[in-house]
Amino acid sequence: MYTFLLILLILDAVVLAVAVLLQSGKGGGLAASFGGASSSSDSLIGTRQAGNLLTKASWWCGGIFLGLAFILQIMSSRSAAPKSVLDKLAAPAAAPAAPAGGNRTAAPAAPLTQQAAPATPAAPASPDSSK
């Protein structure tokens, strides 16, 4: 779903750029605000023109772009499921590290799996074996 919306956002951005670049200039610009070519009260904001296809496409594409960007931002921040603090406790602990420095010539301790076999009592000597 995220990839589909991202592709829609890219296509919308291309259409928006084309619609904005194909529009004709409104005239005047910043120079009209400072007493340039036509300094009337209408030129401060610009004269009201009938919205043609490119103007409507620009507004719609701009709104769709903002909406998709907002949705994708929310989706990307909630992609990972919340993790529990208890999950960290269940993870196995790492093996203890060897002490730094210290005597390195000593033989390492025997692992716990090699325990000494239990001692068995010796059988008593039979009287016939001494002859």
Domain spans, the chain: 1-23+49-80
Asked if 45 contacts 108 with a C-beta cutoff of 8 angstroms, the reply is no
Rg over alpha carbons for the chain, rounded to the nearest Å, is 41
Picking from 48, 61, 60, the residue whose alpha carbon sits closest to that of residue 17 is 61
Q: What is the average pLDDT across 44-58? A: 72
pLDDT of residue 73: 93
Q: Spell out the long-range contacts of 21-27 with Cβ–Cβ below 8 A and sequence spacing 24 or more.
A: 22/54, 23/54, 23/55, 23/58
Condensed to tens digits (0 to 9), the pLDDT of residues 58-114 reads 999 999 999 999 999 998 887 566 677 777 777 666 656 666 665 556 555 655 565
pLDDT of 47 higher than 70: no
